[in-house]
Copies of this chain bind each other. A is one copy, B any other.
Amino acid sequence: MYGLIGKMNIAPGERDAVIAILLEGTQAMPGCRSYVVAKDPANADAIWITEVWDSAELHHASLALPGVQQAIARARPHITGFGERFETEPVGGY
């Protein structure tokens, strides 16, 4: 399995809108076992995204999905940068 933990910085006031875009655009991604979007309670302009994929290849392939491409296009103007980013190798859990 392949995992990602990442922090995204959002323009002030746009966090809820970006969260909605991400949740809408990531519902049907082959090979994605988990995609959780969270607010950063310590930073009103940041979110955390944690992902579990069957493989890194399927994660990369997802970036070409029409729904994901649309979400990226809609969210991008509000993304001001990226914070921590960790790749992981999930081995179990639920």
Copies of this chain per assembly? 2
Closest B-chain residue to A15, C-beta based?
A: B91
Chain A: interface secondary structure?
A: strand
The 10 closest A-B pairs by CB, nearest first: A38-B88, A36-B93, A39-B89, A38-B90, A23-B92, A48-B88, A35-B93, A50-B50, A3-B38, A41-B89
Given A48-B86, A86-B48, A87-B42: A92 in contact with B3 (beta carbons within 8 A): no
A76-88 Cβ-contact flags toward B at 8 Å (1 or 0): 0000000010111
> Any chain B CB within 8 A of the CB of A9?
no
Closest CB in chain B relative to A43 CB, distance in Å? 10
- When the two chains form the complex, which single residue of B26, B84, B93 contacts A93, counting CB atoms closer than 8 Å? B26
